[in-house]
Structure 1
Amino acid sequence: MTADHRIIAVELDERTVLWRNADVEQERRVAIFDLLEGNSFRPLGDSFAAATGPYRLVLRVEEGRLAMDISDAAGVPIDTLVLMLSPFRRVVREYFAICDSYYKAIRQATPSQIETVDMARRGIHNDAATLLMERLEGKAEVDFDTARRLFTLICVLHIRQ
């Protein structure tokens, strides 16, 4: 059987999220669409030794931790990866602040101002993706684009925090 290290379905635990405005909801939809269009996700560890993928993923926040419930393609649970959210608090705060500035800029700023804010937003997002890849080390291998999209979804879950 050939390994297929990718995510084919992703859900957010709706009990984790209190509310989402239209901008956040759009970011969530785009992140999930882009993630499913192309990703690289290879969970590591004894639980996944026999797993070949593809995988289904449910993301939730529980007691200050990100839980990633991983199932096989048929929906049979395999294991849960858990990451502390505390290392992400600063970057999530920065990302929310720059996104707020970006959405305001889209509505009232010049194209060059929008571009400046968007460059800053992408920079923070890239830093967060790198942090996520570091935090997943030894638990799962993901490519940079997958980490960026997963970070967006972590932000959506983090709104409640």
Structure 2
Amino acid sequence: MAQQAPPRRPAEQRDLVRITLPDETPLPSAYAEADRRQAVADLLAANRFAPREMGAGPWGLALSVREGRLVFDIRDAEDAPIHAIVLALGPFRRLIKDYHMVVESHERAVMENHGEARVQAIDMGRRGLHNEGAELLVERLRGRVAVDFETARRLFTLVCALHQRI
């Protein structure tokens, strides 16, 4: 499923202009699906994704999980493959598992009307895990692809979504 970016606005940094995920199978919940869609939309609106020694973009990114590995398939503007970066998923597994549990808790708290204070507390935990996942992603891509923190946060959301589909 490829999504194209809206026309580029000059004040924004956008290296990625297309994000492709392996299929259109809906995620297990409407909340998770909305989170995935928002991450893609936010990435396409503004991002910093600069593969080392590959010149200037724009780039397409086909993100997938294959054989327990996270694959960043970097493509040119015409969608031709340029370079693939493969990362072990092992370092991300605990964060992904914890993130999914917190998201499920958040959904239940909202649906069962557990009160604003509890929902906000759970959401703070979710944001903390999200930030930790983004920091790990920045670290694992260091020397290969320069990404800013917000780009890494959105990519981590997509990694979690991919992991839910396995």
TM-score by length of 2: 0.86
Equivalent in the alignment of 2:21: 12
* C-alpha displacement of 1:23: 1.8
CA distance in 1 between counterparts of 2:27 and 2:49 reads 28
Does 1:69 find its partner at 2:57? no
The 3-state SS of whatever aligns with 1:138 is coil
Does 1:88 find its partner at 2:92? yes
The answer to whether the Cα contact below 8 Å between 2:14 and 2:44 also exists between their aligned partners in 1 is: no
Structure with more contact order per residue of length (Cα contacts < 8 Å, sep ≥ 6):
1
Equivalent in the alignment of 2:40: 32
Q: Which amino acid aligns with 1:155?
A: C
Equivalent in the alignment of 1:116: 121
Task: List structure 1 runs of 4+ shifted beyond 6 angstroms.
Answer: none
CA distance in 1 between counterparts of 2:108 and 2:116 reads 12
Q: Which amino acid aligns with 2:159?
A: I
Does 1:101 find its partner at 2:109? no
Q: Which amino acid aligns with 1:63?
A: E
Percent identity between the aligned chains? 43
User: What are the within-5 Å matches in structure 2 for residues 122-141 of structure 1?
Assistant: 122-141=127-146
Structure 1: 5+ residue stretches without partners: none
Equivalent in the alignment of 2:10: none
CA distance in 1 between counterparts of 2:128 and 2:150 reads 13
The answer to whether the Cα contact below 8 Å between 1:5 and 1:55 also exists between their aligned partners in 2 is: no
TM-score by length of 1: 0.89
* C-alpha displacement of 1:33: 0.5
* C-alpha displacement of 1:159: 1.2
The 3-state SS of whatever aligns with 2:119 is helix
Equivalent in the alignment of 2:151: 146
